Structure 1
Amino acid sequence: MRRYEELRKGESGAWLSIGTYLFLASLKLVIGYIFLSQALIADGYNNAADIIVSVAVLVGLRISQKPPDDDHPYGHFRAEHIAALLASFIMAVIGIQVLINAGTSLFNRETVEAPSLITAWVAGFSAIVMLLVYRYNRKLAKKINSQALMAASQDNKNDALVSVGVVIGIIGSHFHLGWIDSLTAFIIGLIICYTAWSIFKDASHSLTDGFNDEALSPFISTVLAIEGIEDVLALKARQVGSTVYADVTIAVQPSMTVKKSHDIADSIEQALYDEHDIPHTTVHIEPAKQDA
């Protein structure tokens, strides 16, 4: 099935993120502690948390590739949401810890020593690397139509922007404003917590079958373009991992034969698959109301 092949391709993006985050997190934490940069340390913990997100995406992609079985007749696509949900909890814990450490340093009355400019070079290097990873994952996500990988690419971009902020904070601390480094670390902690909340919100929304009504309009237009359909009485959809499942209720002429209505149902399933990559559609057919 095309969807399973695409999920396998998406693993390369997840592995790239994991390897990059492992390298950058280790580099930032070591340099940050040696040269006393709270902002770089916070950014290092941010990358460490992102490892969890990337692993969650990888695990979700792996489990999602399992074919349907007796207990999972619709497949295992929701594994991506569950993995993301667990990752959001861990990210929140890390973000809160960064906030506590940075806040303690920020409100400490003692003079904060400006970190070495070496830390700024490390942060700048990290920003460039993450922008390259972002471009690769974004291109791959579009190619295979993977929402999970697209979310990971957006996280890559956010990390690049955070590293740019670290550079600014470190340089600013050298203008006799040492507290800027701690302030930047505090802001990074807020970003980690916000990212955790965003991941939790999106995952829980999908797990409870939430779906944006505006996204249904293209599906309805596709169905109405099929010959023989009088009206679309209802169309519902739910996000299942990187794909979408749909339920459609249409109205046809009461005199239409069973075979013809069955052919129309097949046409709906094929059209939604070809145009919107919806692999599973349930079609319910009702007779159109006749004018009195």
Structure 2
Amino acid sequence: MGVDKMGLMMEERYQELKIAERGAIVSIVAYLALSVAKLFIGNLAGSAALRADGLNNTTDIIASIAVLIGLRLARRPADDDHPYGHWKAETVASMVTSFIMLAVGLEVLYSAITKLIEGESVAPDPIAGYTAIASTFVMVAVYIYNRNLAKKIKSGALMAAAKDNLSDAWTSIGAAIAIFGSAFGMPWLDGLTAVIVALLILKTAIEIFRESAFSLSDGFNEEKLEEYKQAVLSINGVESVRTIKARNYGANTFVDVVIWTAPEMTVKHSHEITEEVEEMLLENFNVFDTKVHVEPSDIILPE
């Protein structure tokens, strides 16, 4: 792949990360407004579920700021210490998000269980329920915006933020059900829903952690790797694929492949094949960078 084309791809990716920052900023603004409203009204109306939801949104502000910082760090160009660039800062931001959500989930779970054990029986004011419903609509809108943006630019950090947005929408729905249920003689439902809210937060946190940890440890989808291999084998002149490896740096895929070709093939022809492999993986699978090593098919491998 030409140097100019690689430079254009990197510039395009930097611009995509800059666009992804919009999603993080939208989340920060939404969470800031909702957390203030929920904590104030939750305390005023005596709703544990709404307070739990508000506390969750408060820490979501920190998580969204972490995503924003990660996206900005990822836009830094490669240097001597980071020859592959700073793309993984985006994935690190996803992991930070999971840690924050995990801490919040445990705190909410503890508070909710404490309330159930103490047996508080005062039903919260209905205004808390209306607040939760309004919050649901806001978070669904933010989720759709961030999800679509993350898919468009293939941002793992923004997709993690979108999953958090959806989780928050569900927890707000649960809070509303609990609050209105309490008004019909089931005040314990408020505390029970706070427990469910906490479990949903913990579930989302674990999912985001597993995905980011898999990427940071250079894990890669085996089925996708097999697709790459079969596509390389389809190129005329490639007799076999000796090894193929891939890893992700943020949303960018890097592939290393060793191919076997006819031993009598000229250097010029083999170079043309490597160019074809790089172009094919870029066009068909959006592989950001491919390193191809060519070996003669009659090479004797060590036992």
Normalised TM-score (structure 1)? 0.93
For residue 231 of structure 1, report the CA deviation from its aligned partner: 2.2
Asked if the contact 2:244–2:255 (Cα under 8 Å) also holds between the matched residues in 1, the reply is yes
Aligned counterpart, 1:120: 129
Q: Is 1:229 aligned with 2:238?
A: yes
Asked if the contact 2:146–2:161 (Cα under 8 Å) also holds between the matched residues in 1, the reply is yes
The residue type equivalent to 2:13 in the other structure is: R
Structure 1: state its 5+ residue gaps: none
Sequence identity (%)? 48
The residue type equivalent to 1:129 in the other structure is: V
Q: CA RMSD in A?
A: 1.7
For residue 10 of structure 1, report the CA deviation from its aligned partner: 0.9
Rate the CA distance shift 1:141–1:87 in 2: closer, same or farther, 3 A. closer
Rate the CA distance shift 1:218–1:49 in 2: closer, same or farther, 3 A. farther
Q: Is 1:153 aligned with 2:165?
A: no
Q: Is 1:259 aligned with 2:294?
A: no
Cα distance in 1, alignment partners of residues 253 and 66 from structure 2:
20
Aligned counterpart, 1:52: 62
Corresponding residue to 2:86 among 72, 76, 80: 76
The residue type equivalent to 1:182 in the other structure is: G
For residue 127 of structure 1, report the CA deviation from its aligned partner: 0.7
Cα distance in 2, alignment partners of residues 82 and 150 from structure 1:
13
1:64-213 matches, within 5 Å, as: 64-109=74-119, 111-213=120-222
For residue 172 of structure 1, report the CA deviation from its aligned partner: 1.2
The residue type equivalent to 2:274 in the other structure is: A
For residue 197 of structure 1, report the CA deviation from its aligned partner: 2.1
Cα distance in 2, alignment partners of residues 157 and 91 from structure 1:
13
Per the alignment, in what secondary structure is the counterpart of residue 107 of structure 1?
helix
The residue type equivalent to 2:38 in the other structure is: K
Cα distance in 2, alignment partners of residues 56 and 266 from structure 1:
39
How many residue pairs match? The answer is: 289
Per the alignment, in what secondary structure is the counterpart of residue 165 of structure 1?
helix
- Residues 168-221 of structure 1 show CA distances to partners (whole Å, capped at 9, x for unaligned) of 111111121101000111111122222222222222221111112122233223
Q: Is 1:246 aligned with 2:255?
A: yes
Cα distance in 2, alignment partners of residues 97 and 190 from structure 1:
11
Asked if the contact 1:56–1:80 (Cα under 8 Å) also holds between the matched residues in 2, the reply is no
Asked if the contact 2:147–2:162 (Cα under 8 Å) also holds between the matched residues in 1, the reply is yes
- Residues 1-37 of structure 1 show CA distances to partners (whole Å, capped at 9, x for unaligned) of 2211111111111111111111111111111111011
For residue 128 of structure 1, report the CA deviation from its aligned partner: 0.6
Cα distance in 1, alignment partners of residues 69 and 225 from structure 2:
29
Cα distance in 2, alignment partners of residues 233 and 92 from structure 1:
42
The residue type equivalent to 2:216 in the other structure is: L
Cα distance in 2, alignment partners of residues 143 and 103 from structure 1:
41
- Residues 103-128 of structure 1 show CA distances to partners (whole Å, capped at 9, x for unaligned) of 1101113x421111111111111111
Normalised TM-score (structure 2)? 0.90
More displaced stretch, 222-231 vs 237-246: 222-231
